[in-house]
Amino acid sequence: MTLYSYCLPYDDGAAPNPFWGVCTLAICKPRIRLSATIGDWVVGMGSVNSPIGDISDKVVYAMRVTQKMTMEDYDWFTRSKLPRKIPLMRSADPRKHCGDSIYDFSVPTPLLRPSVHGEGNRSTDLSGGFVLLSTHFFYFGDKPVALPNALLGIVKQGQGHRSQSNAPYVADFVRWIHGLGYPPATLIGDPQLWSQLDLQASCGPCAVGRKQEAEADLAEPDDLLRHPC
């Protein structure tokens, strides 16, 4: 079992998308989507510069991967099983606005659906190849939970992610997250950026920021620290 941890600077409900009973990571973090396997944990840490303050020692979400599929299979899966994950930008429901099944694979070259990402994100989105799905997750959003001192070693700020260096903390993290007392597939808070988003338009700054973060994620080795996010 591997525990992946990274800084989540753009918590808008799209990456991860924790709605409709399944937490999905379909865009952003291409290297984690490529390498994580069923049974691994993915943990999004808060940002120094989050809209709710410095939450760099707090967990925004944690998901145990329970399913992994190609992006093309995810498109077909959402069409038949989870259509509400397909973005509907004109919806007043922010959960539908932030849908993460943003590529239509019914044609040879996938079409980008109107969504929180633009064409500038295509290369990094598709380079991840896979989508991670979880029915065993905890999403805290704007109510992040502080890690105990003994687990601060998994904190990741800046670009990239931690994985192998988290090995000493995996068992203790799993005990801690379950010890909080929340049942799996629980949403405790809302995405941090919801109060700032125009739900009738794409999140341009988020899309640009996620592209830059994904490019750095692809280019850098694990555990390499850079500037705070």
* pLDDT 10s digits, 21-31: 999 999 989 99
pTM for the model: 0.90
Among 185, 159, 157, smallest CA distance to 47 is for 157
Asked if residue 198 has pLDDT above 70, the reply is no
Cβ-based neighbour number of residue 118 at 10 Å: 15
Q: What is the SS3 string spanning the chain?
A: CCEEEEECCCCCCCCCECCCCCEEECCCCHHHHHHCCCCCEEEEECCCCECCECCCCEEEEEEECCEEEEHHHHHHHHHHCCHHHCCCCCCCCHHHHCCCCCEECCCCCCEECCCCCCHHHHHHHHHCCEEEEECEEEECCCCCEECCHHHHHHCCCCCCCECHHHHHHHHHHHHHHHHCCCCCCEECCCCCCHHHCCCCCCCHHHHHHHHHHHHHHHHCCCCCCCCCC
Place of tokens 């065993």: 136
The answer on pLDDT for 228 being more than 50 is no
Share of residues in the chain with pLDDT > 90 (%):
77
Number of Cβ within 10 Å of residue 23's Cβ equals: 27
Distances (CA, A) of 159 to 84, 87, 143, 221: 30, 27, 23, 10
Cβ-in-10-Å burial (0-12, 13-18, 19+) of 2 comes to: middle
Percent of the chain with pLDDT strictly greater than 70: 90
Question: Which phi and psi (to 5°) does residue 203 adopt?
Answer: -85, 80
Rounded CA-CA distance 3/65 in Å is 10
pLDDT, one tens digit per residue, over 29-88 is: 999 999 999 999 999 999 999 999 999 999 999 999 999 999 999 999 999 999 999 999
